[in-house]
Each structure stands twice: as C-alpha cells, then as structure tokens.
C-alpha cells in the first residue's frame, strides 16, 4: 500500500471535478490600454474605506497616492493613470452599492510608466517595516477576499507562526491569472514569499499548486535553491482545493477548528498573486494600481489574461476582450463561486481575478428546470464541509433559517457551490444558503 501513497496527491475529502476550461493558461499576460475615464472606489477592501486627499480639477500622476488609509484595517489608493480628477463623489460599484469614488479623466497620452516610487533595499527592512510597506502598497488579498494583506501578516503575538501557506491552486474553472503569474513572475513570487515570511515570522513556506499546472510547478522549482525553506507541493486537481481549509488539510494534514482563524494553528495563508505583486512592487515602493484579470468564457472572442488598471469600467474591459454581443451573462470570479452582475458600468476593483462571459441562452439552458429533491444524496457526497445540503435546502424552502443555523451548521457552509453543481434536480442550493445566511446575520444584528 505504501507505494500507492507515493502516487497519491495530497487533497481533502469529497469535492467535485468540473470541466476546467483553462484555455487561457497558454496566453501570456497582456497590458490593457487606458479607458478614457477611470473610477477608483474608496472601499475595495475589508475594513474602513480609504480617505481621498485629492479634489476635482487636480492633476494626478500614475502611481501617486490619491487616498490614504483610514486607520489600521484600511489601505491607501493610488492613481492608476495620469490625468485630471473630475469628481470625488458617489458612484455605482460591483456590489450594487454607490460608494465614494475618485473619478479620473485619463490624459490621452498617459504613459504606462509609473511616476512614483523609488528603489529601496528591502534587506534592511525589519518585520514591522515590511508590514508597513505592504500597507503602503495598498495591497489586499487578491484571491477574492480583499482583506488588507498587511493585517493578515501581523498575527497576534501570542500565536507564533510556523508556516506560510501559499495558495496557487486556482481551482475555479476558466481562471488562469494566478497560473500565468507563477509562470511569468516566479522571481517576484519568491521575493514576495521571503518578505511575507520575514513579516509574519514563518520558518517554512509551502506553495500548494494543483497538479494540472506542471509548468508553474517547474518554473518555481527551477529558481529555488536546494536548501530553500520554501517548497512547492503538487496537490490533487479537485474543486474546491483552493479554499483555505482544504489547502491547510492538503498541505499540513491539519484542520482549522470551527470558529478559529488559521493563525491560531500557526498558519498564515496568502494567494500567489498577492505575494507576486508584493515582490514586484515593494522593492520599487510603488502602489498597487493594476492587476491581472482573466477574461474568458464562450462569449469572449479575445480571451486572455490582461493587466487591467484598477478603476477601468467593466464595459471597456469586455470591449477590449472582444465581447460585442450585449446579450451575455457576466460572472465575476469563476462560475462556481462567482456572481452574476447587473451592470457593466462599474469599475474593476482590486478583488476581481476573473470575468467569465456566457451567452445568456446557453447559460439558461445549462441551468435546466428546477425539480423536487429526489433524495439521491449526491450533494451530501460532494460537500467538502460534511454538511447535509439536501436537508438545508428543504429547510430553506420552508424558510426555517434559524433551524438551519442552530441544528444544521449553516455557518459552516462557505458557498463553494459543489452541492448545486451535482444536484440532478438543478436546485440552486448555494443561492438558498446565501439568502439564509444573510437573513440569519440580519436577525442576529437586530
Ligand atoms: S455550498 Fe455549502 S453546503 Fe454546498 S457543498 Fe459547498 S460548503 Fe457544502
Ligand atoms: S443532490 Fe439535489 S436531488 Fe439529490 S439529495 Fe441533494 S438536493 Fe436532493
């Protein structure tokens, strides 16, 4: 039996295997031109919104700080383009909320060159100085959570950090931005990992990459010295391997206790994109003003990985990627955990890793008609959290939200969508659970 373990890739129980559609993994990162007008929301992260320090009519240069962090759990914002500030007012955002934003009319001849920042010797920086530098960059978790990256690195002193886990799984279908960054920026990634290890005090860093990305695994291994305290681990290609709890289980064989944070078991986790960007920006003390976004799906004629200035309107991004049909369904993030958006007249923010575009009729056809639950148990077999989505779904239909929370661990659901994916009755289980969680939150807050 032991020989079998050699071939077995670390992973977690249950999960699903959706078609991967990773065609854009072969497409090198391309720079997107500037839109005529960019809108930078002050709240693109968890925590307090940034505070604007520019006003209408003022000239700003690409890379200049245009808003400062408002306290510890906040980050600054930088100008993604050189131009004139047209307004500082409320604008619509991806969530549907109108948020305070800085609107910049781009100079037609704005250079791609970043006009702010200077080379610094990062070897001289202490752990505290690195954490401050991460905040100054304006970096947030690029895997989608948008938690300020510096706050994640500064774990409470009572919890010594043993391991930095680096999430390079990118298990959602269609998304390949992280894959391309690992391939094209491996040195930035390793530099970012070294900063993060120094900042949080981790003795080892483990990079988890799904085994469907052998080129990325090789690219990083090729530049690591033999005695490095950074190691690369191929994990099984299975959704949702990239969820934090699943990766902790796969890489360390440990579980994060219910209700606990990973630092409480001596672990800090960051996405590969976050660390590659830190490795790229901190040595030049530059702000985070553009990010790699996968634009893919059957509705896109020029799919690829684009370096998109923060604040670029979604409509402009889709036009550049060859989406001409208005009758499309646009999903932000991947199809498993992403959400459809109602308006294209909102800006790309720091948390957007992918935009997947479907033809609307194909989308409707693929969803199928909803039928009653046939008690097949497929959803129970798929749930990586060991929940009973079938029972939760029945309770949701009866709006028994409190029973869902108190008896069936609704709060354990992290909305991965595996149950909806496998359900032969096409019951939109995860949507029901999102609504239920929202209602429970509101009741608890009342
Ligand atoms: S969405 Fe929730 S209930 Fe459904 S499989 Fe994922 S964790 Fe389980
Ligand atoms: S997968 Fe769908 S039909 Fe089967 S038990 Fe779960 S909810 Fe019912």
73-77, 143-147, 266-270, 336-340: least confidently modelled range:
143-147
Residue-wise pLDDT tens digits, 385-410: 999 999 999 999 999 999 999 999 99
Atom of ligand 1 nearest to the CA of 414: 7
pLDDT band at 118 (very low <50, low <70, confident <90, very high): confident
* Pocket lining: 436 vs ligand 1, CB cutoff 6 Å: no
The response to whether residue 432 sits with its C-beta less than 6 Å from ligand 1 reads no
Q: Indicate the range of 240-249, 297-306, 314-323, 352-361 predicted with least confidence.
A: 352-361
Query: Which of 97-101, 332-336, 360-364 is least confident?
Result: 360-364
Q: Does residue 362 have a pLDDT over 60?
A: yes
Residue nearest to atom 7 of ligand 1 (CA): 413
Distance of CA 243 from the midpoint of ligand 1 (Å): 12
Per-residue pLDDT of 124-142, as tens digits, reads 999 999 999 999 999 999 9
CA 402 – ligand 2 centroid, Å: 21
pLDDT digits (tens, 9 = 90+) for 296-324: 999 999 999 999 999 999 999 999 999 97
Compute, in angstroms, the gap from residue 420 CA to the centroid of ligand 2: 8
Q: How confident is the model at residue 2 (pLDDT cuts 50, 70, 90)?
A: very low
Which residue shows structure tokens 């100054």?
136
Query: What's the pLDDT band for 328 if we cut at 50, 70, 90?
Result: confident
Query: Other CB atoms closer than 10 Å to residue 419's CB: what's the count?
Result: 30
Residues at CB less than 6 angstroms from ligand 2: 373-379, 389-390, 393, 422-425, 427
For residue 378, the ligand closest to its alpha carbon is 2
Check: pTM over 0.75? Answer yes or no.
yes
Per-residue pLDDT at 255: 87
Instruction: Output the pLDDT for position 119.
Output: 85
Residue 3: per-residue pLDDT: 44
Mean pLDDT of the chain: 92
Closest ligand 1 atom to 416 CA: 6
Across the range 88-97, mean pLDDT stands at: 92
Residue 7 clears pLDDT 90, i.e. is over it: no
Ligand 1 close to Cβ of residue 419 (< 6 A): yes
């Amino acid at each position: 039996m032991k020989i079998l373990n050699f071939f077995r890739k670390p992973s977690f129980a249950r999960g699903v295997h959706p078609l991967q559609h990773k065609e854009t993994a072969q497409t090198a990162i391309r720079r997107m031109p500037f839109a005529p007008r960019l809108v930078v929301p002050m709240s693109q992260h968890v925590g307090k919104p940034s505070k604007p320090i520019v006003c209408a009519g003022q000239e700003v240069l690409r890379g200049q700080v245009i808003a400062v962090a408002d306290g510890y759990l906040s980050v600054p914002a930088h100008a993604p383009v050189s131009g004139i500030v047209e307004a500082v007012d409320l604008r619509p955002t991806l969530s549907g909320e109108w948020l305070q934003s800085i609107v910049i009319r781009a100079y037609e001849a704005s250079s791609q060159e970043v006009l702010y920042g200077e080379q610094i010797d990062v070897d001289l920086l202490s752990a505290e100085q690195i954490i401050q530098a991460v905040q100054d960059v304006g970096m947030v978790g690029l895997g989608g959570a948008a938690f300020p990256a510096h706050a994640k690195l500064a774990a409470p002193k009572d919890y010594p950090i043993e391991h930095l886990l680096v999430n390079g799984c990118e298990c959602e279908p269609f998304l390949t931005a992280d894959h391309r960054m690992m391939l094209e920026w491996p040195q930035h990634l390793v530099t970012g990992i070294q900063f993060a290890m120094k900042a949080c005090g981790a003795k080892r860093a483990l990079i988890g990459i799904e085994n469907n990305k052998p080129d990325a695994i090789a690219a990083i291994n090729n530049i690591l010295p033999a005695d490095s305290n950074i190691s690369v681990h191929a994990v099984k290609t299975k959704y949702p391997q990239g969820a934090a709890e699943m990766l902790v289980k796969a890489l360390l064989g440990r579980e994060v206790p219910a209700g606990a944070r990973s630092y409480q078991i001596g672990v800090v986790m960051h996405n590969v994109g976050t660390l590659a960007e830190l490795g790229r920006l901190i040595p030049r003390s530059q702000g985070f003003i553009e990010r790699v976004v996968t634009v893919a799906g059957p509705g896109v004629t020029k799919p690829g990985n684009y370096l998109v200035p923060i604040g670029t309107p979604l409509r402009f991004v889709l036009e550049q990627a060859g989406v001409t049909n208005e009758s499309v369904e646009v999903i932000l993030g991947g199809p498993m955990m992403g959400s459809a958006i109602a308006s294209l007249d909102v800006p790309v923010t720091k948390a957007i890793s992918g935009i997947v575009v479907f033809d609307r009729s194909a989308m409707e056809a693929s969803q199928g008609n909803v039928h009653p639950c046939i008690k097949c148990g497929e959803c129970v077999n798929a749930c990586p959290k060991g929940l009973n989505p079938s029972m939760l779904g029945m309770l949701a239909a009866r709006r028994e939200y409190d029973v869902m929370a108190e008896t069936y661990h609704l709060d354990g659901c992290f909305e991965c969508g595996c149950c909806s994916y496998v359900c032969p009755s096409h019951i939109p289980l995860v949507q029901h659970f999102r609504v239920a969680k929202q209602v429970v939150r509101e009741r608890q807050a009342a």
